[in-house]
Amino acid sequence: MKSKFVSILTPSGGLNADIKIILSDLPTLHSVSDIHAYAETQQCQYSPDEITLLQQSVKEASFLAIEKAAVALYQFYRLSNQWDSFGSDHINLGFFQILLQTPANAPISPDDTMAFYETFETRLTQYQLQDQTQDQLLHFFNTFSFEFLGLRISSSNPEHINLIFKFLMIDRALLTGIYDNRKLFILAKTKSGKKSGQFVCFIKKELMRTPNAILAMAAFNSAHSRELCLREDALRTIFYQKWAPVFGTKQRYTLTPEFSISEGIKSHALSLFNVTSSEELDAIKGQLIKDVGETVIYHEIGHIVVQNDILPTEVCPLFESTQVFGDNILLTLLEIMADFSPTFNQTKGAFQNMVDVNQEDPTRATRLFYLYLSDIWFYDTPDTFMYPYSDILSLTLLRYINDDLSINFKKIQFDLQFDPATPNQPNGKKSLVSFFFKTATTNATLLRNLIESLPFKINNNERDYAYIKKLVQYNFTQSNTIINEESYHFLTKFWTVMMHNIIEFTDQKSEIMHFFETEQQRFIKQLFVFSAGKATAEQYQFDHRQYIFDRFISLELSQ
């Protein structure tokens, strides 16, 4: 039987009603591979020219939707001067590159800066956002939609957009994540793969992104698919900003230990590639980016291990909910534990991967170690909020560096040993992961006790935590949310709402901030003793940063 010809577009240029229904119907989009396969099931044909027109329309609409959202968010940042925790420099750099479509290795000139602001003002007017207030801009960003040929799809449903891309055979993907309690969007060309049993989305080319998708964030977990997303544009930018200038800037970094040690670590890392010049560095660029990307991926996989196999179910949701208060020791602890995750159910963190690589290729494993060390050294940057992170990891990594700069991978392997039932290791020695575990669980108990003691006030009525908890749970039942205090998903929702209630209905935010500061100081002091020994810590009067600088200089890891 000869298949019939069916038009995709109406005479006025809109979508045929049947095609519109198909693109609106998630079960249909899930059930077929693409438009040609669907046509076969319907015994019909679609015009190749009309398919091309539809593809172009969807490509353009998706690009413009993300660009408009990006412009709205950037304008919000400008008007409010609230640049989220990563600051204006990171946001400006990433948005500059994507708005002007400049390559990662292109230097930024004054003319480029002028062109950026001119382009931004043009887009602001083009999208009729120039007169919007801060609240209006933020509302638009949080609720924007994708529209093409009469079809409207909310940005809160990226899966629907990606199914349309698949159905129409469009080489695009919409990636979403959450950072600093704000959604981020990236429209990109991607490729899928697997690492350590986990699906990984390799973002090959970013076509448009929102300004909060900063380039310093080389990977993230997709908010809708839970895929690990690795950003190759971000890795290339990091290479050109951090590694490419190494051989031309040595003389600049001899004044302070922050800079001289940073350069010394980078130089030693490059020596493990047998690189001594800019030309040789350019030749191994691909391998260096691959090595950095590998560690980034295993960091993200490590979060899965921490969440599922190390910490009790409640701890991660509780800690993650504290993002509303900004960067703090609990979030830092989760990040570090991800890197030191041992192997569970075929998944592992960054340092377990280094230990495994060391079995086959000790030089590459050592390279991975020093590349990682360079990546956690923030003392030579203006990102002061990252200094405690550098403190903790520098104290930790110094445990493994021998006097000849080789790495004690056996000690790392010991430190990765962990059994929640028996956190203390044989001979009375405790592994690093066990130490982190005890710190995390203790802090979770202390924080929960603090929250449960807070006084709340609603409509001038004094309320306690138990009342607020019942109110939150009641609201969940009204929205058909299943209450299960053993569910990671539920606890994430619960603690996120509870933290917002603390901000809105108590005047005790300072108590929470004081808790973070006190526990950070306590943890770093304990780690100093754990890593360097009590005698050394006391000799330095617990000035951990001076010890860090002195130790790296004594290892001759400075320029």
The amino acid at residue 524 is: I
Q: Is residue 492 part of a domain?
A: yes
| Same structural domain, 228 and 114 | yes
| Same structural domain, 402 and 314 | yes
Integer Cα distance of 547 and 552 in angstroms: 9
pLDDT tens, position by position, 339-390: 999 988 888 999 999 999 999 999 999 999 999 999 999 999 988 999 999 9
Among 184, 217, 235, the domain-final residue is: 235
The amino acid at residue 320 is: E
| Same structural domain, 354 and 208 | no
Q: Is residue 46 part of a domain?
A: no
Contact 204, 189 (CB under 8 A): yes
| Same structural domain, 345 and 396 | yes
| Same structural domain, 224 and 303 | no
| Same structural domain, 225 and 269 | no
Integer Cα distance of 235 and 290 in angstroms: 9
Please give the distance of CA 63 from its chain centroid, rounded to a whole number: 22
Integer Cα distance of 207 and 165 in angstroms: 15
Q: Is residue 28 part of a domain?
A: no
Q: Is residue 39 part of a domain?
A: no
| Same structural domain, 391 and 275 | yes
Q: Is residue 64 part of a domain?
A: yes
Q: What is the pTM of this model?
A: 0.88
pLDDT, residue 149, reads 86
| Same structural domain, 330 and 183 | no
The structure tokens listed for 156 are: 């809160």
Average pLDDT on 423-450 reads: 85
pLDDT, residue 375, reads 96
Torsion, Cα of 367, 372, 373, 379 (10° steps): 140
Q: Is residue 465 part of a domain?
A: yes
Contact 437, 310 (CB under 8 A): yes
pLDDT, residue 62, reads 97
Instruction: Please report how many Cα atoms fall inside a 13 Å half-sphere around the Cα of residue 347, on the Cβ side.
Output: 24
Higher pLDDT, 308 or 521: 521
pLDDT tens, position by position, 59-76: 999 999 999 999 999 999
| Same structural domain, 198 and 254 | no
Q: Is residue 252 part of a domain?
A: yes
| Same structural domain, 272 and 299 | yes
Higher pLDDT, 396 or 102: 396
Cα separations in angstroms, 467 against 260, 401, 454, 459: 55, 52, 12, 14
pLDDT tens, position by position, 280-320: 999 999 999 999 999 999 999 999 889 888 999 999 999 99
pLDDT, residue 249, reads 57
Domain assignment of residue 493, given as a range: 455-507
Integer Cα distance of 451 and 518 in angstroms: 16
Query: Average pLDDT of the chain?
Result: 92
For residue 82, count CB atoms less than 10 angstroms from its CB and return exposed for 0-12, middle for 13-18, buried for 19 or more: exposed
The 3-state secondary structure of 233-274, one letter per residue: HHHHHHHHHHHCCHHHCHHHCCCCHHHHHHHHHHHHHHHCCC
Q: How long, in residues, is the chain?
A: 559
Helix (H) or strand (E) holding 182: strand 182-195
Estimate the crossing angle of helix 387-397 against helix 329-339, to 10 degrees.
40
Number of structural domains the chain divides into: 3
pLDDT, residue 16, reads 86
421, pLDDT greater than 80: no
254, pLDDT greater than 80: no
pLDDT tens, position by position, 350-361: 999 999 999 999
Give the percent of the chain with pLDDT over 70: 96
Average pLDDT on 242-251 reads: 78
Contact 544, 391 (CB under 8 A): yes
| Same structural domain, 256 and 355 | yes
